[in-house]
């Protein structure tokens, strides 16, 4: 158990991060909707070129540029074939005409007209269809004698008059991505754009880290379920708050709710969330709050870390059931008492029970641990400019919930130590320990609140 001088916020954050490592790599298919929001564990490269083949960028006629006069004069060419997306695209020749019933297995809907022996020709082609071999440009239909195509209509034109265009209107294979080109890097978050690009580039799955699974609970015999009005009880807002923060940070949440100030009850709840199914059959007092859960990657609890007679977390930390216990004092307001431990091999971050202290401590210490489990780096330090001034206690860091505005940040309420101030806050700022008064224009370390407005 750690003792010694009070820690800074940065020191306790490092201590919490040292308890966790990125989760193992898991391949997840692109058609699995849960892949969105996960973090890549490895770099990803294209398995196939994008586009995969030369295809028409416009509805019109595929032509050989050698068949069109270089001076732009119009020429009339026979229509040799009809090419549409998803159909085979053999190279047409003057004697391999769509109108010859034995020449192609293409489905009905193509014109039936006699063959031609004229040199050159054009292929009626729709956007996205492969450009036949030997053809090197597409002339848009609106720039030809045909004028327009009728949706779903058969080929009726036997010839088309057209001229050379400034653009070829062909999307060439590999012009977006070549095989082996990088698509995304390890640490990138999977989004809709990456899903689409990876699928187009021939990938079936992505190497990701699964979403962390975090158990949250609050301690206190005075805590009651929502809607309880019994005198002497208060609503269990802390476990709801912790669950919301952890979920907003990208984790799956196992919320236990409130556990009474009883070491056996807390022991049973912790055993249950780490997968010890036989944790509490002879502990009936724990039955009301123990859900059926699986193994979790991190435990976050609020309350019970001070030195009071009812501080059940401190009581349990003194037992032989836990390992790697680190009880610390952080020179910060709010959130001075903190604890870290390992329960049956699962990292455990224990924060104070005061709601604002619990909120601040979870954002500062637990959420970076969630990010590391997910495979995300801790973001670089950001700063914000103070829009107004306010006093700060000397000798201790002050964490202030703030609202971000066009002129900078300002405290989220007249008393930032009240729970209601968190309703408006979208970030926290840290006032250094040697600052007794924040002046307008001062730059302060900024910590965004996940899920805030």
Render pLDDT for 388-441 as a digit per residue (tens, 0 to 9). 999 998 899 999 999 999 999 999 988 878 888 899 999 999 999 999 999 999
pLDDT of residue 171: 96
372, containing H or E segment: helix 367-374
Distance from chain centroid for Cα 300: 22
Considering the domain 25-48+178-209, what is its CATH architecture?
A: Alpha-Beta Complex (3.90)
Confidence of residue 134 (pLDDT cuts 50, 70, 90): very high
The yes-or-no verdict on residue 121 having pLDDT over 80 is yes
The answer to which of 37-51, 150-164, 332-346 has the lowest mean pLDDT is 150-164
Q: What percent of the chain has pLDDT over 90?
A: 74
How many Cβ atoms sit within 10 Å of the Cβ of residue 188? 17
In whole angstroms, give the CA distance from residue 371 to residue 376. Answer: 5
| Alpha-helical runs (H) found in 201-311 | 237-248, 263-273
The yes-or-no verdict on residue 282 having pLDDT over 50 is no
Average pLDDT over residues 17-39: 96
235 or 385, which is more confident?
A: 385
pLDDT of residue 294: 53
pLDDT of residue 267: 94
Q: Which residues is 137 bridged to in the sheet?
A: 63
- The CATH number of the structural domain formed by 382-448 is 2.40.340.10
Q: Is 323 exposed, middle or buried (0-12, 13-18, 19+ CB in 10 A)?
A: exposed
Considering the domain 53-172, what is its CATH architecture?
A: Beta Complex (2.170)
The yes-or-no verdict on residue 111 having pLDDT over 80 is no
The answer to which of 125-139, 167-181, 310-324 has the lowest mean pLDDT is 310-324
For 50, 129, 171, the CA distances from 202, given in Å and listed in that order, are 9, 19, 18
pLDDT of residue 119: 56
Contacts by 262-265, CB closer than 8 A, 24 or more apart: 262/221, 262/312, 263/312, 263/315, 263/316, 263/319, 265/289
Q: Cis peptide before 334, with omega less than 30 degrees from 0?
A: yes
Structure tokens at 70: 């270089």
The answer to which of 41-55, 200-214, 262-276, 285-299 has the lowest mean pLDDT is 285-299
Average pLDDT over residues 219-223: 91
Q: Is 33 exposed, middle or buried (0-12, 13-18, 19+ CB in 10 A)?
A: exposed
Give the chain's end-to-end CA distance (angstroms, integer).
Answer: 39
Confidence of residue 120 (pLDDT cuts 50, 70, 90): confident
pLDDT of residue 99: 40
pLDDT of residue 88: 55
Confidence of residue 100 (pLDDT cuts 50, 70, 90): very low
Confidence of residue 103 (pLDDT cuts 50, 70, 90): very low
pLDDT of residue 107: 39
The yes-or-no verdict on residue 18 having pLDDT over 90 is yes
Work out the mean pLDDT of the chain and round it to a whole number.
87
DSSP output for 2-43: --SSPBPHHHHHHHHHTT--PPPEEEEETT-GGGTT-EESS-
In whole angstroms, give the CA distance from residue 125 to residue 115. Answer: 19
In whole angstroms, give the CA distance from residue 217 to residue 214. Answer: 10
How many Cβ atoms sit within 10 Å of the Cβ of residue 80? 27
In whole angstroms, give the CA distance from residue 136 to residue 62. Answer: 7
Average pLDDT over residues 177-189: 97
- Domains in the chain: boundaries: 9-23+211-374, 25-48+178-209, 53-172, 382-448
The model's pLDDT over 347-400, given as tens digits with 9 standing for 90+, comes to 999 999 999 999 999 999 999 999 999 999 888 889 999 999 999 988 999 999
Query: What's the alpha-carbon Rg for the chain, to the nearest Å?
Result: 33
pLDDT of residue 117: 35
CA nearest neighbour of 50 among 192, 203, 184: 203
pLDDT of residue 284: 37
Confidence of residue 321 (pLDDT cuts 50, 70, 90): confident
- The CATH number of the structural domain formed by 9-23+211-374 is 3.40.980.10
Average pLDDT over residues 104-115: 39
80 within 8 A of 98, measured Cβ to Cβ: yes
């Amino acid at each position: 158990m750690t003792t010694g001088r009070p820690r800074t916020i940065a020191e306790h954050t490092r201590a919490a991060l040292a308890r966790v490592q990125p989760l193992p790599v898991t391949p997840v298919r692109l058609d699995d909707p849960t892949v969105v929001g996960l973090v890549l564990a490895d770099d990803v490269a294209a398995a196939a070129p994008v586009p995969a083949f030369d295809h028409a960028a416009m509805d019109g006629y595929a032509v050989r540029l050698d068949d069109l006069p270089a001076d732009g004069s119009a020429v009339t060419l026979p229509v040799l074939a009809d090419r549409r997306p998803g159909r085979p695209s053999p190279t047409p020749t003057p004697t391999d005409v769509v109108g010859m019933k034995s020449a192609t297995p293409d489905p009905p809907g193509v014109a039936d007209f006699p063959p031609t022996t004229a040199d050159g020709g054009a292929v009626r082609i729709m956007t996205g269809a492969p450009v036949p071999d030997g053809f090197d440009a597409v002339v848009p239909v609106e720039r030809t004698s045909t004028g327009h195509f009728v949706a779903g209509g058969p080929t009726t034109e036997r010839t088309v008059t057209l001229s050379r265009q400034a653009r070829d209107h062909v999307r060439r294979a590999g012009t977006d991505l070549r095989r082996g080109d990088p698509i995304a890097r390890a640490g990138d978050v999977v989004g809709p754009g990456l899903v689409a690009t990876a699928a187009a580039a021939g990938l079936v799955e992505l190497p990701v880290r699964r979403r962390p699974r975090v158990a949250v609970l609050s301690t206190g015999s005075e805590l009651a379920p929502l809607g309880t009005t019994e005198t002497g009880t208060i609503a269990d807002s802390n476990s709801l708050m912790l669950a919301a923060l952890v979920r907003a940070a990208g984790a799956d949440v196992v919320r236990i709710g409130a556990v009474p100030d009883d070491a056996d009850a807390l022991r049973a709840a912790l055993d249950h969330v780490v997968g010890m199914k036989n944790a509490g059959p002879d502990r009936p007092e724990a039955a009301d709050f123990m859900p059926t859960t699986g193994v979790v990657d991190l435990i976050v609890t609020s309350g019970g870390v001070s030195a009071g007679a009812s501080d059940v977390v401190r009581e349990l930390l003194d037992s032989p059931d836990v390992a790697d216990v680190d009880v610390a004092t952080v020179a910060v307001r709010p959130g001075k008492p903190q604890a870290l431990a390992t329960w049956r091999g699962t990292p455990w971050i224990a924060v104070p029970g005061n709601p604002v202290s619990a909120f601040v401590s979870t954002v500062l210490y637990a959420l970076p641990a969630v990010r590391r489990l997910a495979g995300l780096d801790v973001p670089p330090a950001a700063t914000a400019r103070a829009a107004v001034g306010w006093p700060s206690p000397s000798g201790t860091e002050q964490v202030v919930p703030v609202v971000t505005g066009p002129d900078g940040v300002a405290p989220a309420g007249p008393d930032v130590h009240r729970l209601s101030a968190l309703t408006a806050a979208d970030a926290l700022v840290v006032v250094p320990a040697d600052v007794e008064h924040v002046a307008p224009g001062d730059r302060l370390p900024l910590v965004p609140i996940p899920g805030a407005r």
